[in-house]
Chains A and B, each alone.
Chain A
Amino acid sequence: MIRLVKDDLRPPATPPKRHLLSVGDLTRDDIDRLLGTARTFAAALERHVKKLPTLKGHLVVNLFYESSTRTSSSFELAAKRLSADTLTVKSVGSSVDKGESLKDTALTLGAYDPDVIVIRHPQIGAPQLVARVTDAHVVNAGDGKHQHPTQALLDLYTLREEFERLDGLHVAIVGDVLHSRVARSLVQAFALVGIRATLVGPPALLPRELPAETTVDIEAIRDADVVYVLRMQNERMEPGANFVPSLREYTARWGITPERLRPGQKVMHPGPMNRGVEIDPRVADSSDSLITAEVRSGLVVRMAVLYDLLTGGPVGVQALAAAEVA
């Protein structure tokens, strides 16, 4: 009897459509395939093929309930580069603003028969809701503090382009892990591909019981191949929150400065950066910074995700690779 109750709480059986809701949905094979497709697209873009006809006639809807220039424009451009039609709905100035529920918005947009809905929402699980009520493939572009799977994929892509491998790398993730969907997605993704992760930050910003190495000691970044700097979100630092005594103190003890890095140690950041807070401008602009590479990776990885969802995965990728060669 008890079992029955538990099973009732599980989401309905395997969804008929493929979605990208969480890194947890991916296998190692999925990741290798997606990164391979992304590399194919990068090669095509380098040959000044700015636009591929691949997704002509498909509709990609971007539904953004949180302000985000970089992620929404990256998805929009990715869709356009693949010749898909795009429709971007932002919460400001739309019926979303007038108190329409997410479910009703999703149903309304669903009536246009979109092939993909890309959603960012402050509530954990919002993409799962959209996936349940529409027929579209759903891509999670960030839900609360939960997941941001395309960020993890673009970071894996960036790392692989830089190091030509993923297995055995060691990445230190530094800063506000507690409030970071990027960190959560990365920890899962790193585990899948054999990257060692060390989480570093002030105690109140490291979640308890996250299955990963954690330390408050900033010296721990020295052993890592890459230092991945998380954004210190000002809104988390309201007076009275007391996660840290002050941003000034945070910077002094956990800020990433040239002095804290080994020569040649690579640095990443999901953006937008607070220069002078979590990352010293000299670090951000140094030749060891992979930050602009991450932005470029974002475009081709999101193209790969859209392509993969709409063309049924491995078979499609092989066909594309063949076409590119020919």
Chain B
Amino acid sequence: MLWQKELPAADLVIRGARVLDPVEGIDARLEVRIDAGTIAEVAERIDANEHRVVEADGLILAPAFVDPHVHLRTPGREDEETIASGTAAAAAGGYCAILAMPNTDPVVDSAVTLAALVETARREAEVPVGFLAAITRGQRGEELTEMGELADSGAVAFSDDGVPVASAGLMRRALQYASTTDRPLALHCEEPTLSHGGHVHEGRVAAELGFGGYPSVAESVAVERDLSLAGYERGRVHVLHLSAAESVDALRRARVAGVTASGEATPHHLVLTDDAVRSLDPNVKMNPPLRAEQDRLALLEALRDGTI
């Protein structure tokens, strides 16, 4: 379920744009007519009639993006982001729908907290927004949330994103129980005793600069574990922000073996490597970290072949 504020349905004709739609195989200078917010016609020449005309010479017109991994920081850190600001940014960036992660303060682990978010989204959201709820209460990795009630209240999936579910036993229970809600688990895969709170890939750059390394294997052992459990319990999982070639291999193998699993990668992991950390710009330190060139190429390959 997605929510947004009431917006007047637009009647538009967009002219002059290069229309790109890889799914439909379109790449041409075309005009597009929108009736009451819905695409009604794509053609070489369209009469405007009463529609507002948008001149889009030199611009690309393409199907909007969907971002299933957004942090709206609401509630608790409205100084960083709000539903209004985050969805406005999404609209400006060409996204028609986003999903917000539940690692807020308080964590979205109860129907009451979720209901308040839905209420705010109905007033403020510029694009449709959906909400994930936590797998464990307070994301403490100890007790499951009431996934049934949360799903009924509109949670689209469950995730402890920001922190991994450290216990394999609890992960198994989460997979078992989530299957009764028909919602997937979105997994932040990280073995904390191997990542040690690091933000830089363990490799030559970390060695030279002195950063505590966060090795690829800290991610891939967690990916392997969770995919094994998902296969065993026939659960549905989505692996968040993949960064390492080994993790991508694990996901590809699991999918071939019939596990119901999907995965994602961030744009920055697709275009940057740990080489960027040499700038000492703190913005390029992140979890999971930017990795080596071979990892970046593996992510691109996985994007091409549909693993991601």
Distance in angstroms between the alpha carbons of A5 and B270 in the assembled complex:
12
Q: Which of B202, B272, B279 has the most CB of A within 10 A?
A: B279
Question: Is A124 part of the contact surface with B, judged by Cβ < 8 Å?
Answer: yes
Instruction: Check if A10 sits within 8 Å of B279, measured CB to CB.
Output: yes
Question: Is A209 part of the contact surface with B, judged by Cβ < 8 Å?
Answer: yes
Distance in angstroms between the alpha carbons of A207 and B198 in the assembled complex:
14
Distance in angstroms between the alpha carbons of A184 and B206 in the assembled complex:
11
Enumerate A100-152 residues with CB–CB distance to B below 8 Å. Answer: 124-125, 128, 144-147
Enumerate B209-267 residues with CB–CB distance to A below 8 Å. Answer: 209-213
Instruction: Check if A9 sits within 8 Å of B284, measured CB to CB.
Output: yes
A10-B279, A208-B203 known; A5-B272 Cβ under 8 A: yes
A9-B279, A11-B279, A207-B213 known; A184-B272 Cβ under 8 A: no
Distance in angstroms between the alpha carbons of A60 and B207 in the assembled complex:
32
Shortest C-beta distance, B299 to chain A (Å), equals 14
Enumerate B12-63 residues with CB–CB distance to A below 8 Å. Answer: none
A10-B279, A125-B280, A125-B282 known; A209-B204 Cβ under 8 A: yes
Interface size on A, residues (CB 8 A): 20
Q: Interface on chain A toward B: helix, strand, loop, or mixed SS?
A: loop
- Contact residues in A for B280 (Cβ distance below 8 Å): 11, 124-125, 128
Q: Name which residue of chain A comes closest to B273, CB basis.
A: A6
- Contact residues in B for A5 (Cβ distance below 8 Å): 271-272
Enumerate B74-103 residues with CB–CB distance to A below 8 Å. Answer: none
Enumerate A1-27 residues with CB–CB distance to B below 8 Å. Answer: 2, 5-6, 9-11
Instruction: Check if A210 sits within 8 Å of B271, measured CB to CB.
Output: no
Question: Is A211 part of the contact surface with B, judged by Cβ < 8 Å?
Answer: yes
Q: CB < 8 Å: which of B202, B208, B209, B271 contacts A2?
A: B271
Question: Is A90 part of the contact surface with B, judged by Cβ < 8 Å?
Answer: no
A6-B272, A9-B279 known; A210-B210 Cβ under 8 A: no
- Contact residues in A for B213 (Cβ distance below 8 Å): 207-208
- Contact residues in A for B204 (Cβ distance below 8 Å): 209-211
Question: Is A181 part of the contact surface with B, judged by Cβ < 8 Å?
Answer: yes
Instruction: Check if A146 sits within 8 Å of B207, measured CB to CB.
Output: no
- Contact residues in B for A124 (Cβ distance below 8 Å): 209-211, 280
Question: Is B283 part of the contact surface with A, judged by Cβ < 8 Å?
Answer: yes
A210-B204, A211-B204 known; A145-B284 Cβ under 8 A: no
Instruction: Check if A146 sits within 8 Å of B203, measured CB to CB.
Output: no
A11-B281, A125-B282, A208-B213 known; A6-B276 Cβ under 8 A: yes
Distance in angstroms between the alpha carbons of A146 and B211 in the assembled complex:
7
- Contact residues in A for B209 (Cβ distance below 8 Å): 124, 146, 184
- Contact residues in B for A207 (Cβ distance below 8 Å): 206-207, 213
Q: Which of B206, B280, B281, B284 has the most CB of A within 10 A?
A: B280
Distance in angstroms between the alpha carbons of A114 and B207 in the assembled complex:
33
Shortest C-beta distance, B3 to chain A (Å), equals 32
Shortest C-beta distance, A106 to chain B (Å), equals 15
Shortest C-beta distance, A173 to chain B (Å), equals 14
Shortest C-beta distance, B15 to chain A (Å), equals 25
Instruction: Check if A184 sits within 8 Å of B271, measured CB to CB.
Output: no
- Contact residues in A for B210 (Cβ distance below 8 Å): 124, 144-147, 181, 184
Q: Name which residue of chain B comes closest to A241, CB basis.
A: B196
Distance in angstroms between the alpha carbons of A124 and B206 in the assembled complex:
11
Q: CB < 8 Å: which of B207, B212, B283 contacts A210?
A: B207
Fill in one digit per residue for A223-247: 1 if any B CB lies within 8 Å of its CB, else 0: 0000000000000000000000000
- Contact residues in B for A210 (Cβ distance below 8 Å): 204, 207-208
Shortest C-beta distance, A184 to chain B (Å), equals 6
- Contact residues in B for A147 (Cβ distance below 8 Å): 210
A11-B280, A11-B281 known; A211-B208 Cβ under 8 A: yes
- Contact residues in A for B284 (Cβ distance below 8 Å): 9
Distance in angstroms between the alpha carbons of A10 and B276 in the assembled complex:
8
- Contact residues in B for A181 (Cβ distance below 8 Å): 210
A5-B271, A9-B283, A124-B210 known; A208-B202 Cβ under 8 A: yes
Q: Name which residue of chain A comes closest to B281, CB basis.
A: A9
Distance in angstroms between the alpha carbons of A211 and B207 in the assembled complex:
9
Distance in angstroms between the alpha carbons of A211 and B212 in the assembled complex:
17
Shortest C-beta distance, A217 to chain B (Å), equals 20
Q: Name which residue of chain A comes closest to B276, CB basis.
A: A9
Distance in angstroms between the alpha carbons of A325 and B206 in the assembled complex:
47
Enumerate B270-305 residues with CB–CB distance to A below 8 Å. Answer: 271-272, 276, 279-284
Q: Name which residue of chain B comes closest to A240, CB basis.
A: B193
Distance in angstroms between the alpha carbons of A208 and B284 in the assembled complex:
21
CB pairs A–B below 8 angstroms (30 shown): A5-B272, A6-B272, A9-B276, A9-B279, A9-B281, A9-B283, A9-B284, A10-B279, A11-B279, A11-B280, A11-B281, A124-B209, A124-B210, A124-B280, A125-B280, A144-B210, A145-B212, A146-B210, A146-B211, A184-B208, A184-B209, A207-B206, A207-B213, A208-B202, A208-B207, A208-B213, A209-B203, A209-B204, A209-B207, A210-B208
Ordered nearest first, which 9 A-B pairs have the shortest CB separation? A145-B210, A125-B280, A207-B207, A210-B207, A209-B204, A146-B210, A2-B271, A9-B279, A209-B207
